[in-house]
Structure 1
């Protein structure tokens, strides 16, 4: 594969040396499907060179939404050796993020390739994006009847955020997870009990956007695997409980060039420590916010998080205004510190590669067009309460906005986006046609 093959040839010897040193017996040649689910083949370690050359074959139609029918040839996954991650809980296996090809060229339906394409555009303009994500998740348990509840029976506080007692009751899981992440070199900064009962967040160092997306993907797999080992369920579902705060996945980001943070400006007259380039990037995010939502909030359930009016703790911590502010957690874009911004709409269901790609693409458009974040769409201001400048309230509304956004469709690839839009319309129709228990309880006898 173009790019990946070249990078692999440069590190193949070192990777083989690591395999020998760490006594790696197997590798997972893995890729992300449209929904962010990891698909993989288990390959013996002595087949590393051949799988990097010819790829691990998959029936594309079997994993869905890869532009393939059942009669098409195999789609091939080429492991990116730079992404090597030894499973901390099973250290004879190494995981590799892969990119997809059919005939040696980049495959337009591969989420990781889509991110690489947007990164290449940024690189030609002299920019490299660095990101840090804050994934939130619930630890749950399931009884013999399939009922789901918070795994910690004592975690019942109305405002449980940062609750030390609840944090320490889960110290085995959290400390093991942190040790694993540090073993991988991710440099965890802190962990906390989040705003909902049974909810946690781990913060770790930022990295280049591709490495962060790879780590984000592996993080979700690792947390779920750890939970399964303990007969628990870990979920990143945006809104698993109607009365509790949902799972966000805030992304902190900045653009760099020549080793310099191009978002940083200590002389910013607005007092945010942000450069004009950074403000233009925000302008792009605001202009394309409705379309972006269809990617970063990709499920029916996502919109029950960002449109929630209240939770038992008193706040949803999810934005719904298309607006930015300083260190203000109610805004879509927060500026928590000089030289970086935080995008707060993204949720735990997002595909890490597509989410990063669409955010970068929108920001680059803001820079190219010098979009003023105070007035990105002919009237909106950073404190607007106009309903026209709210985030979408449903997946259907978000998909409609995406269909109308030529910039985003072009940036992520027209053929892929057409497939994505079709799949999401099908998801909405499936939801719409389902008769819920709430409807039965409310309407069956009363009407």
Structure 2
């Protein structure tokens, strides 16, 4: 049950500190099943009440689509009912790029103080707890890629910066913008590891330090919204869509993860191939086996599948490899002498239309299922699987991953492990929301799909 007295006391103490830092309002965010960050905000003086009693929000947010259309579903209550949004005071952050504001992610409870069965952040907490009960912990980070255009440009305008892919010219042209962005994130406690121009026109990528999975998902939300806000202040618009234009290279949302036993990284120093321990191999094999189903969570939009093409470093075949950027699972060992801390698994086939809490939870559940099965990885690939013939891929057991959202949804429905871990209400609602989007774009062209989703994420 909620300890309302303790929450009131703690939030009251924080209110004084926040007021001294100029905070007047607190934004409270949650991410829906379509991957959109939704928000309610309270004046600072209401933070103690929000912490103890929550802020009201409709159950219908579970059924929002990317386009704000509310679909129906087996577990929909329509306009009936209410949930309470409780800010996580441990994650509360002063927004350095939005003066007068602070931010906190929320947990959803019902009016009796019980967890909402469709709360993605609570699901991720459950996954972390289950892994801890096995004696292990995970560390994760999300890579953020985005494209910028001028804020006053038409929606179909080209990017707001020139210069070659990864080129210093592009960085120089937007040096003030990038410096302000990194400075702002640093002030907000986000550990930026690197930032650079990416492959596509006007595209940049930012990497942050790994953290526990809940914190990593929180950081992904905070980082995206900080990029959006800073872009606006610099006369720009930021798009995180998987496909900005049909002919271009898309934005990915790669996930890095590792599993630890105390202070030991299980992705290094083991007796299996490339130094994997048996647990790390089984964990990775569980993810690889369930990649088709995981696409319904990590590539959850119709536009996601315009990005998932061979030879685009998007990882579209069921394969893995050491530092192989064309396989969906890329083992990153790190440099000699630093592997004990650096080794991790990069999952490359997902994008930033995903709800990061759902995706992190799904990866943990898939990995734990692989551990339970004592699953083994196939032989690693040291070539681009797209250059192999169909016969060569078949001989190696390499198959194409879903090319349509409908196929990913079908795989998710058929996966008993993920369905059980998510629980029937949430698993069913995810399917309902995905199918509504599939129907929305049933007859749409790639141009219409990219235009509709260019600025929604």
TM-score, normalized by the shorter chain, greater than 0.5: yes
Which 10-residue stretch deviates more, 211-220 or 228-237?
228-237
Q: Is the 8 A contact 1:32 1:110 kept in 2?
A: no
Counterpart CA distance in 1 for 2:81 and 2:419 is 27
Q: TM-score, normalised by structure 2?
A: 0.85
Counterpart CA distance in 2 for 1:134 and 1:47 is 34
Q: TM-score, normalised by structure 1?
A: 0.87
Q: Which runs of 5+ in 2 are unaligned?
A: 65-69, 334-338, 450-457
| Cα 1:62/1:341, change in 2 over 3 Å | closer
Q: 1:191-230 to 2 correspondence within 5 Å?
A: 191-230=195-234
Equivalent residue, structure 1, for 2:319: 323
CA deviations over 1:6-60 (Å, ceiling 9, x no partner): 9957954663453244232221122111122222222121222211111001123
Equivalent residue, structure 1, for 2:276: 274
> How far apart are residue 134 of structure 1 and its match?
1.1
> How far apart are residue 400 of structure 1 and its match?
0.8
Equivalent residue, structure 2, for 1:443: none
Q: Say which of 70, 93, 97 aligns to 2:101.
A: 93
Which 10-residue stretch deviates more, 409-418 or 250-259?
250-259
Q: Say which of 81, 85, 98 aligns to 2:89.
A: 81
Q: Say which of 359, 363, 369 aligns to 2:363.
A: 359
> How far apart are residue 68 of structure 1 and its match?
4.4
Is 1:108 the counterpart of 2:101 in the alignment?
Answer: no
> How far apart are residue 348 of structure 1 and its match?
1.7
Q: Secondary structure in 2 aligned to 1:30?
A: strand
Counterpart CA distance in 1 for 2:105 and 2:349 is 25
| Cα 1:43/1:170, change in 2 over 3 Å | same
Q: Say which of 132, 138, 151 aligns to 1:129.
A: 138
Q: Is the 8 A contact 2:139 2:213 kept in 1?
A: yes
Q: Secondary structure in 1 aligned to 2:238?
A: strand
Q: Is the 8 A contact 2:55 2:84 kept in 1?
A: yes
CA deviations over 1:192-241 (Å, ceiling 9, x no partner): 10011110001121111111100101111111122223332211111112
Q: Say which of 283, 286, 289 aligns to 2:285.
A: 283
Q: Say which of 422, 425, 435 aligns to 1:415.
A: 425
CA deviations over 1:252-298 (Å, ceiling 9, x no partner): 11112333323321x5452x232111111111011111000110001
Q: Is the 8 A contact 1:114 1:413 kept in 2?
A: no
Q: Secondary structure in 2 aligned to 1:433?
A: coil
| Cα 1:15/1:140, change in 2 over 3 Å | same
Equivalent residue, structure 1, for 2:406: 396
Q: Is the 8 A contact 1:100 1:106 kept in 2?
A: yes
Q: Which runs of 5+ in 1 are unaligned?
A: 310-314, 440-447
Q: Say which of 265, 268, 288 aligns to 1:264.
A: 268
Counterpart CA distance in 2 for 1:127 and 1:7 is 30
Counterpart CA distance in 1 for 2:207 and 2:136 is 25
Which 10-residue stretch deviates more, 237-246 or 212-221?
237-246
Counterpart CA distance in 1 for 2:177 and 2:213 is 27
Pairwise CA RMSD: 2.7
